[in-house]
Amino acid sequence: MKNLIAAVVFIATCPVSFAQEKKQYKVGLIGFYNLENLYDTINDPNKNDEEFLPEGANRYTPQVYIDKLSKLEEVLSQIGTDVSPDGLSLIGCAEIENDAVLKDLSATPKLKSRNYKVVHYHSPDERGVDVALLYNPKYFTPVFSEPLFVDIKNTDGTPRFTRDILYVSGKYNGETIHIFVNHWPSRRGGEEASAPYRMKAAGVVKQKLILFSKKMGLQKL
């Protein structure tokens, strides 16, 4: 399942006693899923979505959209349920057109009970796709979020617009966590030629982490 990255996170709570030095843990399930061009079927003049319209090259009709939602629902509803009946509590998402498609996905029968909420910002990506975060409010409460712009240019110096990196901080099972949802520039044009674009995206995350380290008095990264 090439689109999925998932992790089981154990959040430590206070010790039972100093003598026993035991800790209690809560299980948290965090994942990332590339939703692979999850567009709606409505023409957005501010998005490059012409391929994903009923009359477009992909013949992306409402029936195709509903079928795609159904398949994604089936997969996402099963991930992690062997560990927790609530499944994934945080899902970083890539290749979505807008927050509306995630709301549609969250409202599907097998996901509706999880009450997923969305953190999303429109990015300048030339393909019209963004990243976003789905979260279960039972486990996570966002406190702050922002899009981080990745400033890259083509070889001729013109801007090359890619999706922003989404940064979200909040309380996860009572503990503060910091989340970066990344979908770095592709290998289009060849891996070697496109590597500087991904290094630039990595640098955006690194700069944010350096700010954290300074604020918290940690050793420089």
For the chain, what percentages of helix, strand and coil (3-state, to nearest 5) are there?
A: 25, 30, 40
pLDDT at 186 (0 to 100): 75
* Per-chain mean pLDDT for the chain: 87
- Rounded distance, CA 53 to CA 40, Å? 8
Q: What is the pLDDT of residues 84-106, one digit of tens each?
A: 999 999 999 999 999 999 999 99
pLDDT digits (tens, 9 = 90+) for 108-132: 999 999 999 999 999 999 889 999 9
Query: Which DSSP string do the residues of 190-219 spell out, in sequence order?
Result: -HHHHHHHHHHHHHHHHHHHHHHHHHHTPP
Report the distance separating Cα 206 and Cα 221, nearest Å. 8
Which residue ranges make up each domain of the chain?
A: 4-183, 186-221
| pTM, to two decimals | 0.86
Mean pLDDT confidence for 39-65: 95
Tell me the per-residue pLDDT of 142-194, one tens digit each, with 9 for 90 and over.
999 999 999 998 888 899 899 999 999 999 999 999 999 999 887 666 677 67
CA 101, 4, 50, 123 torsion: positive or negative? positive
Smallest CA-to-CA distance from 30 within 89, 85, 75 is with 89
pLDDT number for residue 32: 96
Q: Rounded to an integer, what distance in angstroms lies between the CA atom of residue 70 and that of residue 56?
A: 22
Q: Residue 67: pLDDT above 90?
A: yes
Contact between 143 and 137 (Cβ < 8 Å) = no
Is residue 165 within 8 Å of residue 201, measured between CB atoms? yes
Task: Tell me the C-alpha distance between 17 and 15, whole Å.
Answer: 5
CA-based angle 71:107:35, to the nearest 5? 40
Tell me the pairing of strands 140-148 and 165-172. Answer: antiparallel
189 backbone dihedrals φ, ψ, rounded to 5° = 95, 0
Task: Give the pLDDT confidence score for residue 157 in this predicted structure.
Answer: 87
Nearest CA to 166 out of 220, 110, 118 is that of 118
Strand partners, 119: 133
Q: What is the pLDDT of residue 11?
A: 44
